[in-house]
């Protein structure tokens, strides 16, 4: 099925050839084997999430989901998304995104909550709030399946990191998040240092790992993070998307989210797929089938209005 216009009003015809479905139940659960899907940023869009699972004919006992992070914030039902992700148990793998970490910082008293989005307050008021926070604190920052040949992160990786290094540095931060969450979360905010150096230690090292895995979009040509960039990818002499840097993960397929303004999902020449298609901004919620060699996309429309500035 042909895709409709994107949430920015431009055609999706520029996407590489492949198979696409929009809001259509695609396969009978009685006739297929296990499938593995990566799903883009939920951002509190619970109803589209449930619609997408129905379209996928998702079965807990058979299929697996990879959730690329930012489960919460912006949309109308962050609590529902968080509960659903937790309830999926072993049938889903979730990596943390920047919004998940920011929520944890506020919820654990590691950062002021005065700017906490009102959509997150139902989580704090929920009777299972402590259990949900404890579950979030246990989630990884990176996941790799060598049999499938995919690496999942929320935002990106440093050029110098191969898969093993990516998992290793992610594990450093994960261990700190579980053992000393207040200490880590209270010091994670900031844009410096801007470039990886394996000799970094302590707070600067942890902050930079977090920024690569959960916040990066663009870098300059020397590899320095350009943390203020939030728009579409710019390709010029001075800056480039993180995945265009010469990088040690070049031969590994990477699925990530975080960058709804990137507009295209598939960048096969760079071996990356961005499944954040702006559900919170009136776009779509996207699933990418990882175990199908054609890597088909399945999308359902958002239930949120398109903001005026994006029309």
Interval 8-18: pLDDT, tens: 333 333 333 34
Region for 203 from its dihedrals, namely left if φ exceeds 0, alpha if ψ lies in -120 to 50, beta otherwise: alpha
CATH number 3.90.550.10 given to 38-294 = no
Q: Work out the percent of the chain whose per-residue pLDDT is above 70.
A: 88
pLDDT score at 11: 31
Q: Which of the four pLDDT bands, split at 50, 70 and 90, describes residue 69?
A: very high
Burial class (CB in 10 A: 0-12, 13-18, 19+), 187: middle
Q: Where are the domains of the chain?
A: 38-294
Pairing of strands 64-67, 92-94: parallel
For 213, half-sphere exposure in the C-beta direction (CA atoms, 13 angstrom radius) is 33
pLDDT in tens, 175-224: 999 999 999 999 999 999 999 999 999 999 999 999 999 999 999 988 89
Dist CA 114 CA 70 (whole Å): 20
Backbone angles phi, psi at 172, to 5 degrees: -55, -50
Q: 220: which strand partners?
A: 239
What's the pTM?
0.90
Report pLDDT digits (tens) over 74-120.
Answer: 999 999 999 999 999 999 999 999 999 999 999 998 887 766 788 89
What are the residue ranges of helices labelled H in 139-275? Answer: 163-179, 181-185, 202-214
The continuous run of DSSP H or E covering 144 comes out as strand 142-145
DSSP secondary structure letters along 58-120: --TTT-EEEE-S--SSSSS-HHHHHHHHHHTGGGEEE---HHHHHHHHHHTTSS--TT--GGG
């Amino acid at each position: 099925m042909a895709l409709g216009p994107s949430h920015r009003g431009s055609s999706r015809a520029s996407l590489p050839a492949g198979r696409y479905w929009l809001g259509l139940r695609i396969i009978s659960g009685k006739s297929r084997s296990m499938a593995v899907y990566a799903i883009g940023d939920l951002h509190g869009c619970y109803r589209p999430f449930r619609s997408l699972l129905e379209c996928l004919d998702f079965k807990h006992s058979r299929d697996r989901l990879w959730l690329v992070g930012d489960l919460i914030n912006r949309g109308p039902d962050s609590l529902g998304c968080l509960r659903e992700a937790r309830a999926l148990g072993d049938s889903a793998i979730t990596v943390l995104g920047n919004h998940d970490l920011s929520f944890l910082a506020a919820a654990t008293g590691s950062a002021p909550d005065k700017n906490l989005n009102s959509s997150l307050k139902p989580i704090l008021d929920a009777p299972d709030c402590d259990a949900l926070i404890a579950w979030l604190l246990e989630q990884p920052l990176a996941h790799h399946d060598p049999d499938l040949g995919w690496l999942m992160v929320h935002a990106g990786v440093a050029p110098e990191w191969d898969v093993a290094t990516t998992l290793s540095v992610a594990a450093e931060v994960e261990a700190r998040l579980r053992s000393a969450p207040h200490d880590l979360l209270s010091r994670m905010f900031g844009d410096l240092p801007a470039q990886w150096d394996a000799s970094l230690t302590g707070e600067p090292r942890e902050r930079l790992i977090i920024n690569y895995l959960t916040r990066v979009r663009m870098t300059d040509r020397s590899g320095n993070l350009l943390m203020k960039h939030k728009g579409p990818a710019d390709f010029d002499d001075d800056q480039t998307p993180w995945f265009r840097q010469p990088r040690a993960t070049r031969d590994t397929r990477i699925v990530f989210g975080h960058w709804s303004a990137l507009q295209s999902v598939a960048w096969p020449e760079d071996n990356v797929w961005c499944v954040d298609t702006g559900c919170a901004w009136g776009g779509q919620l996207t699933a990418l089938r990882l175990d199908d060699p054609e890597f088909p996309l399945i999308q359902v429309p958002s239930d949120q209005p398109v903001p005026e500035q994006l029309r």
